[in-house]
A and B are shown apart, each in its own frame.
Chain A
Amino acid sequence: MNYFRKVWAIVWKDIRAEIRTKEIFSSMFIFSLLVLVIFNFSIDLLEVNPLDIAQGVLWIAFTFSGILGLNRSFLFEKENDCLQGLMLTPIDRSAIYFGKMLGNLIFMLIMEAIAVPIFVVLFNIGIYDKIISLAIVIILGTLGFVTVGTLFSAMSVNIKAREVMLPILLFPIVVPVIIASVKSTGAILTGKPFDDIISWLKLIAVFDVVFLVVSFLSFEYIIEE
């Protein structure tokens, strides 16, 4: 119980700082909006079936704006060496990981919750009867992205070219999750039966668990100098 209170204290500190500055959220949101709008303008929706491309556009918007948020995540911990301060406290190293990870997850999910309605309007896609299954895919896919993303964010924070390094390190590893998310989002939007989707969801869930366990185990070694 105590462990979760501490994890939550870390999440809450990030949320508080974000409410004050809105730095992470505004950059993520504007970026995803730009992606959606630019794709919307560049594709003639009268000639192309939106369902051929929409799911890919949606996940491009999610993942690339997610990278923006992840890049910042540990940057704040580096100001005044707060990460060292955290490592001096008696909490378990894994609590730092889970706290940062949950914070990133929450920021991304909020961004996605606002981006989806915009997406629906721009691409003229009806999702009203599919909201729940879509939400499940987005939550599972984002979780997989953020579990490794948080680990790599911690890893790349000391690298000079971190803005470039983070996506280069991260994308090859999360590609299975992203592909599965795009595929299952496509299946949901085209109204395939839930049985078709469930195998993709299982795949994402397996990756989520594997990523979570591996990140949990290796985080300690990554943040120690």
Chain B
Amino acid sequence: MNSPPIKGGEIRDVDFRMNYVIDCEKVSKSYGNISALRDVSFKLDKGSFLAIFGPNGAGKTTLLKILSNLVKPTSGVVKINGMSLHDEDGEIRKNIGVVSHNSFLYNNLTPYENLEFYGKMYDVPNLEKRIADVIYEVGLTARMHDPVRTFSRGMMQRLSIARVLMPDPSIIYLDEPYTGLDQHAAMKLRDILKNLKKGDRTIIMITHNIERGLEVCTHVAIQVMGKIAYMEEIEKVDRDNFEAKYFKTVGEGHY
């Protein structure tokens, strides 16, 4: 391993630990001449829950896509459990669950059939029972055998949460998971997230709802124009003034 450059006698904390679950090093991504991510670096330990806030177009979704290997970064390296995403195989993907803007659900299949299909892809044991459990957990048992095409936006969102919970992944990415959920479902999701956190899972959640983010996370980040402008442990964050902090970081001149 290369030691980090030391400039002008400055002494840095050098962290030699190798067991970060997510290790993102100088990741950049451009689409043509739009640069969606610029030099993003951060590390997350097992059991961390990172909440990312940021304005539209800040590159939050792009970051999650890169962390789940759906999009290759223009430069930089992502390591998951010490393995480079670049030459990953199914082993890494098995551990990652993604709730995205899109549901990844087949419109012509029922919730049961959708989950059965994805369950087989992940080799979920005791599949039938597991499906019934997660569908119950998101409150869709009554609609288990209707085609997903007939579902409302919020029901789709619940089902995609069930799809992600089913294989019990150790890393979970949630891209605005509260979108479309009614009050009950949102409370339920919050409880689910709190429960997930108790395990040793590592979670990254993007949300525009500051309150929802702060109530569950262990780390907070604010992403602006492709950069992580602020990242801090929750204990060191002044919760009451966080919203002001957010607006200051994003900058009045941003719009």
Contacts and interface: CB of A to CB of B under 8 A. Distances in A.
Interface of A: 2, 5-6, 9-10, 13, 16-17, 20-21, 76, 79-82, 84-92, 224-225
Nearest to A85: B104
A6 B108 CA distance: 19
A13 to B, nearest CB: 5
Nearest to B97: A88
Contacts of B100: 81, 84
Interface in B131-185: 147, 156, 163
User: Which A-B residue pairs are the 7 nearest by beta carbons?
Assistant: A85-B104, A90-B90, A81-B102, A17-B108, A89-B121, A90-B94, A9-B120
A20 B149 CA distance: 12
Interface in B83-132: 90-91, 93-94, 96, 98, 100, 102-109, 113, 117-118, 120-123
Given A16-B113, A20-B147, A89-B93, A76 B121 contact: no
Contacts of B121: 6, 9, 86, 89-91
17 contacts: A9-B117, A9-B121, A13-B109, A13-B113, A16-B109, A17-B106, A20-B109, A82-B104, A85-B102, A86-B121, A88-B98, A88-B104, A90-B93, A90-B94, A90-B121, A91-B121, A225-B70
A13 B68 CA distance: 24
B71 interface: yes
Contact of B123 (A2, A16, A82): A2
Contact of A80 (B68, B104, B113): B104
Nearest to A92: B90
A79 B106 contact: yes
Contacts of B156: 80
Interface residues of B, number: 29
Contacts of A17: 106, 108-109
Contacts of A79: 106-107
A81 B90 contact: no
Given A9-B121, A89-B122, A90-B121, 17 more contacts: A9-B117, A13-B109, A13-B113, A16-B108, A17-B106, A20-B108, A20-B147, A76-B108, A79-B107, A82-B105, A84-B100, A84-B104, A87-B70, A88-B70, A89-B93, A90-B122, A225-B70
A204 B117 CA distance: 34
What does DSSP make chain B's interface, helix, strand, loop or mixed? loop
B76 to A, nearest CB: 17
B109 to A, nearest CB: 6
Contacts of A88: 68, 70, 93, 96, 98, 104
A16 B156 CA distance: 20
A80 B109 contact: no
Nearest to B68: A88
B105 A80 contact: yes
Contacts of A9: 117, 120-121
A30 to B, nearest CB: 20
A185 B72 CA distance: 47
Contacts of B94: 90
Nearest to A20: B108
Contacts of B105: 80, 82, 85
A92 B90 CA distance: 7
A90 B91 contact: yes
* Residue with the greatest number of chain B CB neighbours at <10 A, chosen from A13, A224, A225: A13
Nearest to A13: B117
Contacts of B123: 2, 90
Interface in B22-43: none
A79 B109 CA distance: 12
Contacts of B117: 9-10, 13
A81 B156 CA distance: 13
A84 B70 contact: yes
A84 B70 CA distance: 7
A161 B230 CA distance: 44
